[in-house]
Amino acid sequence: MENPFEIPLMQLGRTIVALKPVLIDAMGAEALHFVDDNFAKQGFQGTTFQPWPKRAKKQKGANRALLVQTGALRRSIKKADSSDHTTISTDIIYAKIHNEGGEIRHPYREVILSFRGAKGGKLKLAKTSTEAQQRKVTQLRRSSVYNHVVKMPKRQFMPITAGDSPVLTERCAGIIIKKITDALKS
């Protein structure tokens, strides 16, 4: 007796193979949305939501959203599709230390500090990024910055491994089911 499911199963297999590039593209796009959502929510959607540690109150811009001083990091997240997977990445060099946390070791170095006159004859550290600011410099001083370590808290915004976020996995599974169901209907 012939198997009545043989032909429909072969058609299903061909449909899935034909959909593979579409599925890879859609899952990559969803991963980009997921990363952007993490920036918007100021935390990582893993097995539980993990809000990012707040910055120290004494820092400049303490009330500003985390990891978005210029927006370069958030805008740098890209996807690259291949024949069997999609990769989400960034070319920003400081992305890894923010995503995974860790220590930044600064070596000893000598710097030249620029000062300008302030009220009461005191000196104030001067900005020197424009010509007008440079003209206001009244003194230069050599200074030493000793080696030190900065501890960067983990503020994960993108998965480190494929199964890192059940939220993203569930979103991608929903996309796969919808795309295959739509293809089988037509």
User: Tens digits of per-residue pLDDT, 71-124?
Assistant: 999 999 999 999 889 999 999 999 999 999 999 999 999 999 999 988 888 888
Asked if the model's pLDDT at residue 69 lies above 90, the reply is: no
CB-side exposure of 65: number of CA atoms within 13 Å?
13
Specify the pLDDT at position 7.
80
- Using pLDDT thresholds of 50, 70 and 90, give the confidence band for residue 3: confident
Q: For the chain, state the CA radius of gyration.
A: 26
Domain coordinates in residue numbering, the chain = 6-106+154-185, 108-146
Query: Could you report the per-residue pLDDT of 25-49, keeping only the tens digit for each?
Result: 999 999 999 999 999 999 999 989 9
Non-local (6+) Cβ contacts of 59 within 8 A are none
Specify the pLDDT at position 120.
82
> Which tokens hold the place of 36?
């952007």
Specify the pLDDT at position 14.
86
Specify the pLDDT at position 68.
84
Please give the DSSP secondary-structure letter assigned to residue 55.
P
H helices of the chain, in order, are: 6-41, 72-76, 95-100, 131-135, 166-185
pTM of the model: 0.77
Q: C-alpha distances in angstroms, 16 versus 13, 65, 83, 180, 183? A: 5, 42, 14, 7, 9
Cβ neighbour number for residue 67 with a 10 Å cutoff: 20
